[in-house]
Structure 1
Amino acid sequence: MEIKSKAKMAIDAMLSFYNQTDGRWSTQAPWWLSGNAMQATLDFMAKTGSLEYMPQAVNTFTKQSATLPWWPSGGGDFRADSTDDTGWWALASVRMFDLTGDQQYLTYAKEDEAYMYSFWSNHTCQGGIIWDIPSRSYKNAISNELYLKLVASLHNRIPGDTLYLSRAKQSWAWFKNSGMINSDNLINDGLSEESNGTCTNNGGQTWTYNQGVILGGLAELYKATKDRSLLETARQIANAVMTSALLSPNGILTEPCEAEDNCGSDAPAFKGIFVRNLDELQDVLPGSPYIKYLDAQITSAYNLDRNSSVGNLYGLKWAGPFDEIDIARQSSAVSLLVANLKGTSVLIT
């Protein structure tokens, strides 16, 4: 069976989680996971040229751009109580703009960028965006990676822009020197902040999505600058993941928490985010260097981690065996299948 058919079946199965009333994939799941599922669905449409799932996409953006009941001070348009949650929806808005050409979606992304940047602080760590807005604390990898990718993406879609390019360069210069990239070329979760304002790598978990989003961010920034050193850094991180005994045992991408079956509600989505961004990096490199690695993930997940009896639903461990279903697991599998589709994302109007 061709990859496109496998991907479509996985998306159709993912729709079993979709709530038409509020536009979320699994209302009880963490809010950001709906933004991530939205991204996976939009990526499929961008790669295949299909608009089959556009009614769900429009419904989701209409319903979820309203003011959030748990964070009314955000004012809507995906401005949430943590900068990373806002970042996921902002990037989905960029992809929705790519698909439709509708400036409203680009406006969402620009408003979200301004919101995220308002939490850039030089008081600790000499810069960077904080993660938790209520406590004004913790500078971590994922919020800053999402921000880098967002501002570089905005620059690449706005003719004559200088603001977002300047902020993308600022963001990468800070991240590169922050200490979060360790001696193994893997990215730890965040920074420990000292009372005097200095910061060091906190030695936190090397989650796969932290290794992934930076790849997509560097690929976007490379498109803007043609600075090949960005690709060299991205390749070092990608290669570190693929050769890591922890993250790719026996060549199959694995979340560190899988060994103890303690991944919670968020981490099962992380591997899909990694392969999505690995594919975006591959798009700007010659020779499709990651195709064999991606193919190996597909073969393993499809054969060992899919429960065909309940409709092409996938579990946590791509190396198998199948465990259970939820939106995080399924969106991760969808992103894996979409990453293996031929072609790159294109504007469809």
Structure 2
Amino acid sequence: MKTAFQRRHLLSRAGSSENASQWLDSAYDDDGWWALAWIAAYDVTGNDDYLELAEGIFSALPIWPIVRYPDEYLNWAQTQWNWFSAQGFMGENGTINDGLLDNCQNNGQTVWSYNQGVVLGGLVELNKAAPDATLLEFANHIAQAAIATLADENMVVHDSCEPSNCAPDATQFKGIFIRNLHMLQQVSPHHIYKQVIDSCARSMWANDRNSQNQLGVDWAGPFQGVADMSTHSSAMDALVAAIGG
């Protein structure tokens, strides 16, 4: 639990959009993740400081100038999806690959779980802001393709780096997928989504937990390697999704 001093320090960093520079590291995706984190903090707390910080981070991204008219963010989201969906980023089986060729086409290489999850969450939120049945159709297509590609016979999701080559960041990838799969399940339920979420959580707790209740990266088990903040945050996403139904 954070002390009062720590909470004040955190809020002082998040106090306004002017402080966004403290959270930027010149990596476009990292900055975007911070913006999403502060939006989530706002959703939980209602604290406008967090929302202003997210706005400041978005404004600092290397994109066209921000005009700040009412539908600015919605227009950006729709523009991004229209571009993304026209580029052929999805492979033949419907999954999204991690890399692009020089012509911005799918390179057909590694399918990581988080790439699927990021797009699922974006489509769910975009449909919430501007309802469009095709958005959820795309989301369901991607989700089911990802499950077919990444889940084992027990419906437990894996990344190709498991169990020993996922550090430092890929240990968190599956949590991103499960968290966003749960978001899709809330608005477009499918029995296979619930099955995957429940199977991952139950298998992890039964097979990928050591005597100190530390949770590892290979949810099918057995527990091996290092358990750290990244593996735990990923595991907690799965557990919370399972509890959320």
Q: Does 1:319 align with 2:228?
A: no
Q: Does 1:275 align with 2:178?
A: yes
* Structure with larger RCO (C-alpha < 8 A, sep 6+): 1
Distance 1:314 1:215 in 2: 25
Once the two structures are superposed, the pairs formed by residues 238-277 of structure 1 within 5 Å of their partners are 238-244=143-149, 247-250=150-153, 251-258=155-162, 261-277=164-180
Please give the root-mean-square deviation of Cα atoms over the aligned residues, in Å: 2.6
1:347 alignment counterpart: none
Once the two structures are superposed, the pairs formed by residues 1-349 of structure 1 within 5 Å of their partners are 58=7, 61-62=10-11, 76-116=21-61, 118-119=62-63, 161-193=70-102, 198-244=103-149, 247-250=150-153, 251-258=155-162, 261-286=164-189, 290-307=193-210, 309-310=211-212, 312-323=213-224, 324-342=226-244
Q: CA deviation at 1:59?
A: 5.9
SS in 2 for 1:271: helix
SS in 2 for 1:226: coil
Cα 1:297–1:111 shift into 2, 3 Å: same
Cα deviation code 1:97-132 (max 9, x no counterpart): 11222211111111111222x246xxxxxxxxxxxx
| Aligned positions, number | 237
The answer as to whether partners of 2:14 and 2:50 remain within 8 angstroms in 1 is no
Q: CA deviation at 1:306?
A: 0.7
Distance 1:316 1:264 in 2: 10
Q: CA deviation at 1:320?
A: 0.3
Q: Which residue identity lines up with residue 49 of structure 2 in the other structure? A: Q
1:27 alignment counterpart: none
Cα deviation code 1:208-227 (max 9, x no counterpart): 00011110100000111110
Q: CA deviation at 1:179?
A: 2.1
Q: Which runs of 5 or more residues in structure 1 are unaligned?
A: 1-14, 21-53, 67-73, 121-157, 344-349
The answer as to whether partners of 1:77 and 1:112 remain within 8 angstroms in 2 is no
The two structures have a TM-score, normalised by structure 2, of 0.87
Cα deviation code 1:215-270 (max 9, x no counterpart): 010000011111010101110111012122xx1121210011116x3212110100
Counting helix residues as a fraction of each chain, which structure ranks higher?
2
The two structures have a TM-score, normalised by structure 1, of 0.62
The answer as to whether partners of 1:305 and 1:315 remain within 8 angstroms in 2 is yes
SS in 2 for 1:314: coil
Q: List structure 1 segments (4+ residues) > 3 angstroms apart after TM superposition.
A: 54-66, 286-289
The answer as to whether partners of 2:39 and 2:54 remain within 8 angstroms in 1 is yes
Identity %: 40
Cα 1:104–1:272 shift into 2, 3 Å: same
The answer as to whether partners of 2:11 and 2:49 remain within 8 angstroms in 1 is no
The answer as to whether partners of 1:65 and 1:78 remain within 8 angstroms in 2 is no
Distance 2:13 2:38 in 1: 12
The answer as to whether partners of 2:20 and 2:57 remain within 8 angstroms in 1 is no
The answer as to whether partners of 1:78 and 1:90 remain within 8 angstroms in 2 is no
The answer as to whether partners of 2:14 and 2:49 remain within 8 angstroms in 1 is no
Cα deviation code 1:281-335 (max 9, x no counterpart): 111114665212211111110000011x22x210110000101211111111111
1:155 alignment counterpart: none
Cα 1:253–1:109 shift into 2, 3 Å: same
Q: Which runs of 5 or more residues in structure 2 are unaligned?
A: none
